[in-house]
Amino acid sequence: MRTRIDDAVLVALRAGVPTSLEHHGILIAGERIEAVGPTDAVKQFPADRVIDGSEHLVVPGFINTHHHLYQSLTRGLPAVQSCGLFDWLAHLYERWSSLDYASVKLAAQVCIAELLLSGCTTTSDHFYLFPAGSDVRLEAVLDAADSLGMRIHACRGSMSVGRSRGGLPPDRCVQDEAAILADCQRVLDRFHDATIGAMRRIDLAPCSPFSVSPELLKETAMLARSRGVLLHTHAAETLDEQAYCLERFGVRPIEYLRQHHWLGPDVYLAHCVHVSDGEIDLLARTLTSVAHCPSSNMRLGSGVPPVRRMLERGVNVSIGVDGSSSNDGGDLVGEARQALLLQRVAGGPAAMTPAQAFEIATRGGARALNRQELGDLAVGMAADIAMFRADDIALAGAIAHDPLGALMLCRAPRADRVFVNGRIVVEDGRLAGVDAGRLAAEFNDLVRRRFRA
């Protein structure tokens, strides 16, 4: 199947810089981009389906590098609307302890649907909660992604240190470390796909320094490197975490991770809010990536990460929306806008440009997930593409001045059409083959019955 998009405004990398290209087209052949260029040139290629892109802004699919898809079950919960991270977690663990397979799958479907409608085509999901006696398995998240056509890095997370051992989660929410490692092996054997263009990969992701042991950190890193998969965790998110690490381990979070072989080009860390210049240099030197989650950091009052300094010193930064209980939304374009604005609050109007915000939400994410086939509109890249209506009232005026700036600075509309791996998953602003209203109604009924305050 060949699909051609004619006469659109594309945003693609030129000399490494996101650039708006007017009157351009794209040819999609199966799962790949086969041609990109001026419309007259691309029109020479025959296609089975032709899409008029004359009123569209076309961009590579956005990449979300940190999420907890199940947390849509408790987004907006009144009891935690004004909590910091530790109090927020302590309350929510009690509710999350009743998770089961069906609730995790439905919650993940809701979050994935929201991401797709914002033009996000790849997501990482950090799933670490397997309550005692529950039927929860990582397959719940994978099934949800399959049902909507989302490309996913499913992170087999873990918690092994409960309150009785000085951790934050209740004991019924943690697992035996041997069982954790055995299940990591199981999901890697069964589900990880290392091929270029894979729709699903498995990453390994202990939750945090305050919920796993040093031994589990080390053994997880050894397992991941023996299998060639990525490592992911939370790091340096709050001052409470910093105080916990100093008291328990005698070092700050980044140094703690370094001591346990948790820095490198196969590691991406969520947050990194409270990092020193020396720690930033260490992240850059080890090629460790950062998943910046601006809305969550603001929502929980965690702080303002020094993203500008990270970029200046060579750290690869990507974007994460984080869990829906600490963001209350899954709009990837909106998250890139928040990143831009938050850096300007801290560092002035030159702290981040629209092009930088766009780059970290696309190629930054691709680099963090070691997916060089993602994050750009170029020949040979995966056909992960988002199309936005250029004639939408939300972009009026701005689109005539600067299409890229319009998308990053304005309140971007929902994506009009989204391709993942060459397949249309959003069309005319609606999920393809999925009744979003019915999905929302079913989910609201579940939340009212089992998770409501």
Look at residue 452 in the predicted model and tell me its pLDDT: 85
Considering Cα of 351, then 355, then 357, then 363, what sign does the dihedral take?
A: negative
Give the tens place of pLDDT for each residue, 367-381: 999 999 999 999 999
Q: Read off the tokens for 292.
A: 């910046």
Give the tens place of pLDDT for each residue, 165-197: 988 899 999 999 999 999 999 999 999 999 999
- The yes-or-no verdict on residue 75 having pLDDT over 80 is yes
How far is residue 172 from each of residues 86, 91, 98, 129, 445, measured CA to CA in Å? 18, 14, 10, 10, 26
Give the tens place of pLDDT for each residue, 22-59: 999 999 999 999 999 999 999 999 999 999 999 999 99
Give the tens place of pLDDT for each residue, 328-374: 999 999 999 999 999 999 999 999 999 999 999 999 999 999 999 99
Q: Which of 93, 1, 84 is nearest to 48 (CA)?
A: 1
- The yes-or-no verdict on residue 453 having pLDDT over 80 is no
Q: Considering the chain, what is the average pLDDT of its residues? A: 96
Domains of the chain and CATH, by start: 2-61+373-431 (2.30.40.10), 62-368 (3.20.20.140)
Q: What percent of the chain has pLDDT over 90?
A: 97
Mean pLDDT of 320-327: 93
DSSP secondary structure string, 85-100?
HHHHHHHHHHHHTT--
CB within 8 Å of 277: residues ≥ 6 apart: 309, 313
- pTM metric for this prediction: 0.97
Give the tens place of pLDDT for each residue, 119-151: 999 999 999 999 999 999 999 999 999 999 999
Look at residue 168 in the predicted model and tell me its pLDDT: 87
Look at residue 243 in the predicted model and tell me its pLDDT: 96
- The yes-or-no verdict on residue 415 having pLDDT over 80 is yes
How far is residue 99 from each of residues 83, 92, 138, measured CA to CA in Å? 22, 11, 12
Q: Read off the tokens for 319.
A: 């974007």
- The yes-or-no verdict on residue 325 having pLDDT over 90 is no
CB within 8 Å of 434: residues ≥ 6 apart: 113, 147, 148
Look at residue 167 in the predicted model and tell me its pLDDT: 87
- The yes-or-no verdict on residue 384 having pLDDT over 90 is yes
